[in-house]
Amino acid sequence: MSTSTAEDSSGGQECPECAAPAAIGPDGYCQSCGRKVAPGRDHVELDIGVLAGVSDRGLRHQRNEDAMALATEIGPHGTVALAVVSDGVSSAPRPDEASLIAVRAAMKVLQKSARAGEDLVGASAAAANAGAQALTELVGHAGSPAATYVSAAVSQDVVTVCWLGDSRAYWLAADPAECQRLTRDDSLAEEIVAAGLASTEEAMASPQAHVITRWLGADVPELKPNVSQFAPPGPGVLLVCSDGLWNYRPEAADLAALALPAALTAPLPVAAGLVRFAVDQGGLDNITVVLIPFPLREA
């Protein structure tokens, strides 16, 4: 049984062209006049109790090319919290549509698997593949849309994360020694550091730092999502975010200092606070922040 689902969307908004109320369908087209309408995603806040998220355009981009979807499901072994975050690649066509379509397609797979009590490792990889497949529908003469991807499935005892690109998942705890990043960027900067060619600071200062080496998109020769699991040692918060946040605080302990302890009981206002922090630091990119307190509260 699904207990709650939320996603940032243009559904239900008034058409600015013909003023038809609640006329915008989930595909972003006015059901009255047929015109394409820009989604109202400059600032989105979602709160479904067990988890919450905020996505914002920032200060420099003309539109929000990030997207998120949140859900909780009750499976055979209890509540599972689900989150998907995607960051559309600005240099590719239709990045705002790509990210939204990707999170929607992926979330459907995760929800179905969580309800059935299926293996979340396999389900997470299948969800990423579903997101990639959905992007093939956007391929046109201008090229192939692309997006980063990160998902989280949090059960009563384990966190499963899946990713492609440089959107991240972090474990935040009261003890700085327990804080850690759960994902490894698919980026040129990460590869340079791994090869011992530069320090993290030097690599991130490069103009090529945010060039991603894997992503969702029809032009990827072979999609191989990264999947890993983490067993939390105690209470904490899972943070899932786009690079609009971690650009300003890449270390897990520093993010924990901003979020805890309030995020354990009030994830939405803390997520909003982290977005405001990124905006105050310059807001150079779109920003998406999702917080999932652990242990999970009953849905």
205 pLDDT above the threshold of 70: no
Peptide bond into 261 cis (omega under 30): yes
Give backbone dihedrals phi and psi of 270, rounded to 5 degrees, phi first. -70, -40
Quote the pLDDT of residue 2: 56
Domains observed in the chain: 2-7+42-294 (3.60.40.10)
Can you spell out the DSSP letters for 90-139? TTSSSHHHHHHHHHHHHHHHHHHHHHHT--HHHHHHHHHHHHHHHHGGG-
Quote the pLDDT of residue 191: 73
Strand partners, 56: 43, 287
Quote the pLDDT of residue 204: 65
Residues 178-204 have a mean pLDDT of 77
12 pLDDT above the threshold of 50: no
For the stretch 228-245, pLDDT in tens is: 999 999 999 999 999 999
From CA 145, how far away is CA 159, in angstroms rounded? 29
pLDDT level of residue 211 (50, 70, 90 thresholds): confident
- Percent of the chain topping pLDDT 90: 67
210 pLDDT above the threshold of 80: no
Quote the pLDDT of residue 206: 66
Quote the pLDDT of residue 5: 73
Quote the pLDDT of residue 17: 47
Mean confidence (pLDDT) of the chain: 87
299 pLDDT above the threshold of 90: no
Per DSSP, the three-state class of 205 is coil
The strand order across the sheet containing 159-164 reads 2-7, 66-75, 78-87, 149-154, 159-164, 226-230
For the stretch 41-91, pLDDT in tens is: 899 999 999 999 999 999 999 999 999 999 999 999 999 999 999 999 988
| Nearest residue to 110 (alpha-carbon basis) of 68, 163, 73, 157 | 73
From CA 243, how far away is CA 167, in angstroms rounded? 6
Residues 188-198 have a mean pLDDT of 69
Residues 190-217 have a mean pLDDT of 71
Q: How many CB atoms lie within 10 A of CB 156?
A: 11
Tell me which DSSP letter residue 280 carries: H
Query: Which H helix or E strand runs over 164?
Result: strand 159-164
Q: Answer yes or no: are the C-beta atoms of 199 and 114 closer than 8 Å.
A: no
37 pLDDT above the threshold of 60: no
pLDDT level of residue 294 (50, 70, 90 thresholds): very high
CA 57 to chain centre: 14
* Torsion angle (degrees, nearest 10) of CA 143, 144, 148, 152: 160
Lowest-confidence range among 14-23, 52-61, 221-230? 14-23
Strand partners, 217: 146
From CA 23, how far away is CA 15, in angstroms rounded? 6
| Nearest residue to 37 (alpha-carbon basis) of 52, 53, 26 | 26
Name the H helices within the chain. Answer: 95-116, 120-135, 188-194, 200-204, 243-246, 252-259, 267-280
For the stretch 112-144, pLDDT in tens is: 999 999 999 999 999 999 999 999 888 876 778
